Amino acid sequence: MKRGESKPGIDVVFAGPGLAGVRVGAGAGSGRPPEADRLDLALGLLAWGVHRTHEDEVRMVADRMRELATAVAASDDGRVPEGTVRVATRTQGLVPVELTTWVDDPGLTHVRAEISHSAVGPVPLIKGSPASGMLVLAGLCAVMDEAERCDADGRLALALALEGLIAWYAKAHRMTPARDAVASARIHAVDRLAAAGRGVPPSLWDAPA
């Protein structure tokens, strides 16, 4: 990446209780299709969220990811049923989260992740120090946004990658690097597609050597 070039990134802004806006920037790219960078950004948000989540709450986070993965895989148009992703509020209890248009307001809660180049390949990194709950919620919103962008093959890959992320944290320590969790989730999705005799969509392509 040349100096001055922006990195692929994703921003999630919370405009109000149950309202989230998602903005994706392709940047200079990682050498893979944009879909692959977007997948890593969504998975990276979730992985960093689990990384910062107290161990007693990891299973609950996994349940939320599993519910969303099931909804994404079953969706005909990329939209998931209302209430698939929920957020706790002080006055209204649990409310469903829906995607809304981007709101460019620095006063709102905002989460950002970027793809950074490294010796081990593209790595999703979090900007700032958002709380674990906000990272998980931002990751779930990023998955919802990506599901609406994908075709059926991309949605299946997305759901299987979420399945792989859940499987990783079921057996690995949550303090392992987030990049390892993302890489394992991608491999899981590729293996599952291969076992079913299905092709690998662009979101799961690797960066060129």
pLDDT tens for 9-49 read 999 999 988 999 999 998 877 788 999 999 999 999 999 99
Helices (H) and strands (E) in the chain, counts: 5, 7
Stronger pLDDT, 163 or 120, i.e. the higher one: 163
pLDDT at 175: 81
pLDDT at residue 24, rounded to an integer: 95
Cα(45)–Cα(99) distance, integer angstroms = 17
**Alpha carbons 146 and 142: distance in angstroms, whole number:** 6
Secondary structure letter of residue 135 according to DSSP: H
Which amino acid, one-letter code, is at 151?
Answer: D
Minimal CA–CA distance to 124: which of 133, 111, 137, 134? 111
Tell me how many degrees the CA angle 198-204-205 measures, rounded to the nearest 5: 105
How confident is residue 132, by pLDDT bands cut at 50, 70 and 90?
very high
Task: Give phi and psi for 140, each to the nearest 5.
Answer: -65, -40
Is residue 139 over pLDDT 70? yes
Residues 43-77 have pLDDT tens digits of: 999 999 999 999 899 999 999 999 999 999 999 99
> What sections of 112-200 are H helices per DSSP?
132-149, 152-171, 178-195
pTM beyond 0.85? yes
DSSP character string of 50-81:
HHTS-GGGHHHHHHHHHHHHHHHHH-SSS---
Alpha carbons within 13 angstroms on the beta-carbon side of residue 93 total: 1
Average pLDDT, the chain: 91
Res. 3: pLDDT tops 70 = no
